[in-house]
Amino acid sequence: MGKSNMSAQLWSDEPTHLDLLSFDAVAKTVVQAVLDDALDPVTVGVSGAWGSGKTTVLRLIEDELAPQPPATDTTILVISTDPWRYDPGVGAKETLIGEVLSAVAAELAKKEQPEGRISRARTMLTKLRQRVDWAKALQVAAKTSLTLQLPSVDDLTSLINTEPGNDDADAGDPPSRGLGEFRSEFRTLMESAELSHLRRVVVLVDDLDRCLPDTVVDTLETIRLFLAVPKMAFVVAADEHRVADALRARFPDPGSGHQSAQERYFEEPASLYLHKIVQTTVPLPTLSRFDTEAFLVLLQLSQRLTVEELTPYIEACVHLRLEKGLLDDLAEAVNGNDIFAEMAFASRMTPILYEKLQGSPRRIKRFLNDLRVRQSVAGHRGIELEPDIVAKLMVLEKLLPNAFATVLGWLARGELRSRMAKLETTAGRPAPEPHIAADPAPDDAASPEQQPTPDECESEPVTFDDDLIRWAKLPPDLGPVDLAPYLYLAAAFTGEQLLDAGLPGRLRDIAANLLSSVRFDQRRVTEADITALGEDDALSLVEYLGRAGRDRPTEQTAAVRSLVRITTAYPASTERATRLLQSIPARELQPATILVLPSAVPVFRGVLEHWKSHVPAGQDQIGRTLDHALGTGSSR
């Protein structure tokens, strides 16, 4: 995920026919069950939590069943349905039955002769549809009666009219009203000679666990009471626990938890009802650590490779999983593409995503999409961070909210740099190598890294919780990186207010104005306001402004300008301000910051000389600006 991928497309949450999760084993198992002649009819469940990939499994099942050998006379008819999208005004029973009859009618039409008498199967199909139409009419009547309205004539007649083109149906047949005889007539239809080529009608039912309790019950009852005849097979993809929760509204436990151990049901009524209809359930496994890492790699590759190019990687992952191999061998298993960047990103992200996202493919995709969006927004706002750094910060923000709030608190108090340095040390990361100019500083001059900061002078040791330490261990190293701009952006997205709890409330408005990027706001703090502070408040402001200048480069110049104003009014705070100024890394100095520091004042000239002695090699602009400030002075 290099910088070139910042504007890459997001990953769709729509189900796919591309098996990146090796769910083909589940799909093949279900296909074997629905085609088993000993299980006819049959209802198989595919159970998994939301976002676990159930719909993708249904698509894989459909792909397994779709190819029809050209030499065979048998056909498998696959019907996909989604009760969550049913029109509540019509009813789940009538909608599901109607979808099945429509698919059977289309199949029947393929086998009928273009010319000739309407078949007996077509006549039976028409009668079945009349029954459904009458049931729909009753639904309309019941619904409108609840609102004290009468159904319109058009509403009813449009539902009970026979199918156009069926005028030669048996005239003596009575109207097929209601669903009372539906099952026996439907069985006769499925056994008719015209449908003898059908081996199975497989109905794939999705999203049942998202439906209201009445829809759940009606859908299951329709499967059991009306459609469960020979040649029919149903695959219900749903979270079994959520379906049972919906069934409890209709089938509560009569004991309500008060029976004795001997009287207690072995299973509660809701589970008994579900298992009566669904003969067996295939659980969808959550992703293992290997699966999570492979999924991350394949998702990234899917956006730059064609299906033909990606397929060998999918097959190689399956092979490595079966052989208990390491994903590190994936690059060697398939030749032709450089996948180092994708492998490195997946390796870094897998440990914490595996733990925090509970093996959910949807949550992994969502995290990656959020990462892409945040990286794009940051880039458009001029926040230049490597993708790996954004990913690490996103882990903190999205998956460790308490730890993220802690880090925002460091930013608000101006302690971000020192706390991050201590955190990385605690996590076992080596301190960054100081980059000193070719002309080294005198032996008695401390480097910015060696210079004690106010935070380091605190006697109370700093401790971190396990989540923060574990997060800090994730690559890359954040020690030398300015995180403040990203954290400000993240705080704005989450609505967090960055308030320094250690700064008295009476000083917060003054501090905000002094650090504003708008000079008008800075000037709103008059010299009279500063003079009225008092020694203690002046020292508090110096501490706050000094940490802000050190930890937040975007506020560096305003902070230094304000320190000069306060020390002019309160000379006793100069020593503290000087130490804080010296703690600003020379490599991060802004030219404007250098120029607002008056070199004519001895203590500030000492700061400029300190910075000059620690300019890293290659930072020529900073060096030239310091030469100018030391040689001619600076006007504010």
Q: Which two tokens stand for residue 66?
A: 């779709």
- What pLDDT, on a 0 to 100 scale, did the predictor assign at position 558? 92
**Cα torsion 111, 114, 115, 117: sign:** positive
Strand-pair category, 280-283 with 75-81: unpaired
3-state secondary structure 493-548: HHCCCCCCCCCCHHHHHHHHHHCCCCHHHHHCCCHHHHHCCCHHHHHHHHHHHHHH
Q: Give strand ranges (E) for 559-620.
A: none
Instruction: Count CB neighbours of 356 within 10 A.
Output: 14
Q: How far apart are CA 151 and CA 157, in angstroms?
A: 10
Residue pair 77/198 in contact (Cβ under 8 Å)? The answer is yes
What is the widest separation between alpha-carbon atoms in the chain?
A: 115
Cis omega before residue 585 (within 30°)?
no
Residue pair 189/125 in contact (Cβ under 8 Å)? The answer is yes
- What pLDDT, on a 0 to 100 scale, did the predictor assign at position 144? 54
The order of strands in the sheet holding 75-81 is 75-81, 198-206, 232-237, 42-47, 280-283
- What pLDDT, on a 0 to 100 scale, did the predictor assign at position 399? 85
Q: How far apart are CA 187 and CA 82, in angstroms?
A: 24
SS3 599: coil
* CB burial string 54-89: b at 16+ within 10 A, e below: bbbbbbbbbebbeeeeeeeeeebbbbbbbbeebeee
Nearest to 403 by CA among 473, 346, 303: 473
Strand-pair category, 232-237 with 198-206: parallel
Which DSSP letter does residue 44 get?
Answer: E
Write down the H helix ranges in 400-456.
401-412, 416-426
Q: How far apart are CA 403 and CA 286, in angstroms?
A: 27
For the chain, report the end-to-end CA distance as a whole number of angstroms.
44
> Bridge partners of 202?
78, 233
Residue pair 548/562 in contact (Cβ under 8 Å)? The answer is no
Instruction: Count CB neighbours of 589 within 10 A.
Output: 24
Burial of 35 (0-12, 13-18, 19+ CB in 10 A): middle
Type of residue at 106 = A
**Cα torsion 564, 568, 569, 575: sign:** positive
- What pLDDT, on a 0 to 100 scale, did the predictor assign at position 499? 60
Q: How far apart are CA 81 and CA 78, in angstroms?
A: 10
- What pLDDT, on a 0 to 100 scale, did the predictor assign at position 139? 63
**Segment-wise mean pLDDT, segments of 10 residues, the chain, 636 residues:** 51 80 90 91 91 90 77 79 85 88 88 62 82 68 52 44 43 52 87 89 93 90 90 93 86 62 63 85 88 91 89 89 84 81 86 81 88 81 77 86 88 82 85 42 39 46 85 81 81 68 79 86 90 90 86 86 93 91 87 90 91 86 88 51
SS3 635: coil
- What pLDDT, on a 0 to 100 scale, did the predictor assign at position 378? 79
- What pLDDT, on a 0 to 100 scale, did the predictor assign at position 180? 65
Residue pair 560/549 in contact (Cβ under 8 Å)? The answer is yes
Type of residue at 589 = L
- What pLDDT, on a 0 to 100 scale, did the predictor assign at position 634? 45
> Bridge partners of 44?
235, 280
Q: What is the pTM of this model?
A: 0.67
Q: How far apart are CA 594 and CA 22, in angstroms?
A: 59
- What pLDDT, on a 0 to 100 scale, did the predictor assign at position 439? 37
Q: How far apart are CA 511 and CA 540, in angstroms?
A: 10
Write down the H helix ranges in 70-119.
92-111
